[in-house]
Structures are given as structure tokens and as C-alpha cells.
Amino acid sequence: MPDIEPDDGALLALEAPEDQEIAITRETLRDGAVLARIMAEAPADMKFMTEAELAASQAKTMAAHPADQDLWLFGYGSLMWNPVIDFTERRVATIYGFHRAYCIWLLLGRGSPAHPGLMLALDRGGSCAGLAYRIPAHLLARELPLLWRREMPGYTYRPQWLTAHSAEGPVRALTFVVDRASPRYTGKLTDDEIVCRVATASGILGSCTSYLSDTVRVLQSLGLEDVRLSRIAKLVAARKALAAGATADAP
């Protein structure tokens, strides 16, 4: 794994309990509890975006969107099974030019600096099936700050406008793709490298394995399949079963 440098910026942390996992919800995004817990576990020299920087990023992105129009948001990972945001319509959709990939080192949340996990992101090339959500124009001022607090504090993603194709027709949608300039970008990884990390890494948001299982589950429920992700899920399950068997056989 390459050396991973801290991000620039700072975010005020709130006090939060340290003895249990925390879930991403509207409340924990709104009150800063998720970021507080993440910051509590981060190395002392690791910094995060300020609220002002998040707001500036949001404003820059939304300058390309008419204020009186609804916004479509494309989700490919946890946004499919834990969208959090309020929406009025959901469509199965496919985007082109980006594919779902394990390509981000995960130091916090579902990993640690000592034992990094891996996170899914959209990387260049190919296509990706997921869900498009319609957020009404009158709710954008309330919903978008939650989305930016969820996706953007670590400078790992960048907002991207693209076309999401669905059975009901194409829509212009916002999504978040990996920033290849980020020191957390992994580049291309083998299945073995991915399985090793996903099978063992965990943190205050849960395990990499549960994130993978939830993503595969929702894809299957929608009648979709990501061939590589399904293969990795089977390999992770086999690795964990082997490890459990070895532990049970130990004297």
C-alpha cells in the first residue's frame, strides 16, 4: 500500500462516545456526530474540510444546476441501501464512462490507519448500474449539506454531472467519483488484494464485509449484478469461513 498523506483543512469536532459503532443517519450527519467520531480516531496530523469549504464546494457544483429544478442523484454503493436523503422518486439507472471499483484506501470508518480497509467508488471507464434519486428543488437547501458532509470532507471524491439512463428515459444526475489525485486512490488492485482487506478491516461505522454484503444484496434485490463484486463477495465469504474454521480447530 502506498504512503497515505493527511488531507488539508479542519472541521470542528463534537464530543461523542467511543465505545460503540455509529450509523450514518440524517441526525448524525446534521449534528456532526459521524465526523466527530471519525476525527476522534484519526491521527493527530490528519485534517478535514471545514464547513466553509464544504459549502463552497457545494455552491461551485450547484452553480451548474438551475435553482428551480429538481435534482437527480446517482448512487452506486451505500446510497443504494442507506440513502438518508429525502427524495420523491427512485429509478434503476445505468451510467457510462465510470465503473464501480474498490479504489480508495479506507483509514477511518470501516478501517484504521494501522489496518486500512477499502471503499467502493466510481472510477474511469466502463459502466455502472445503480439507483437514481429525484430530490425536489424546494428540498435541495436542506438535503445537499447532508450529502456533502457524507461524501466530501476528506477530499477523496469529486462531484460529477453525468447522464443516468433508465427505463423511463435519461436524466442529468449528480454523483461522486474518486479523485485520482487523492493519496487515498489505490489504482488498480487484484482480487486477492481486495479480498485480504475487505475480509478483515473494520471501524466505527462497521466492517468492510458488511458494506460489501449490503451492496451485493441491494443489487440482487433490484435484479442487477456486478460480476466482479459478486465474485469478491464469494471470495471474502470463503476466506472468512476458512479463518473461522482455523480458529475453531486451534487448541
Name the catalytic one among 41, 51, 151, 193: 151
Q: What is the DSSP string of the chain?
A: ----PPBS---PPPP--SSS-----HHHHHSSHHHHHHHHHS-TT-B---HHHHHHHHHHHHTTS-TTS-EEEEESSHHHH---S--SEEEEEEEEEEEEEEEEEE-SSSS-SSS-EEEEEEEEEEEEEEEEEEE-GGGHHHHHHHHHHHHSTTS-EEEEEEEEEETTEEEEEEEEEE-TTSTTB--S--HHHHHHHHTT-EETTEEHHHHHHHHHHHHHHTT---HHHHHHHHHHHHHHHHHHHHHHH--
Distance CA 202, CA 14 (A): 22
Angle at 123 between CA 120 and CA 129, to 5 degrees: 70
Taking CA atoms, 171 is separated from 51, 174, 207, in Å, by 30, 10, 34
Whether 119 contacts 186, CB under 8 Å: no
Q: Is 5 a catalytic residue?
A: no
Give the residue numbers marked as catalytic. 151
